[in-house]
Amino acid sequence: MEKTTKILVISDTHSNHKLLEKVLFKNHDCEYLIHLGDEPDDLEGHPHLTENKQMLFVYGLYHQKWSSENAVSCFSICGQEFCITHARQYFSTYKENCIYCFGHTHHKYYHCDGTTIVINPGHLKKETDRGETAGYVIVELGKEKTIRFFDYDHECIEAYTIL
């Protein structure tokens, strides 16, 4: 049986430690955690919930450590390429077989064009912000790729399977 790797993707926590802790607790079995900016430093306040996770992040546009040179980070997890940024405009090109993740808008987003996937998990700023309920994404990598959008109460609201 092939192992499935679970990746938690969050964005725009804006120091809401209550929602962040709730999401981290509900997803304790994820091996990876990707934070798409606006306060990835929030993760430092929850070592008991992040200690066994590989953490990857980018800074938000308003973070003192953000610069255009570090706006995009690309890496591989279990052979799957990822490119992450806080604001989508910093993706200059899109390539096949890559999952692109961005935040900033606080609105969830999903688009698949062949093998190129673009997602925004939404936000964890507060229960509702900019008319959007707080939420996050779980990416599962196994025999299939599954992308699930959840609200802050861990209710699955959308799911996509890509072979």
Residue spans of alpha helices (H) in the chain: 17-26, 47-50
Q: Would you state the pLDDT for residue 6?
A: 98
Q: Are 77 and 141 in contact (CB under 8 A)?
A: yes
Amino acid at 81: E
Q: Are 95 and 102 in contact (CB under 8 A)?
A: no
Q: Are 103 and 86 in contact (CB under 8 A)?
A: yes
Mean pLDDT by 10 residues, the chain (163 residues): 91 97 97 97 95 96 93 97 98 95 98 94 97 98 95 97 83
Domains annotated on the chain, with CATH: 5-162 (3.60.21.10)
Q: Are 24 and 52 in contact (CB under 8 A)?
A: no
Distance of CA 2 to the CA centre of its chain: 23
Structure tokens at 29: 């079995």
pTM of the shown model: 0.97
Structure tokens at 22: 């709730």
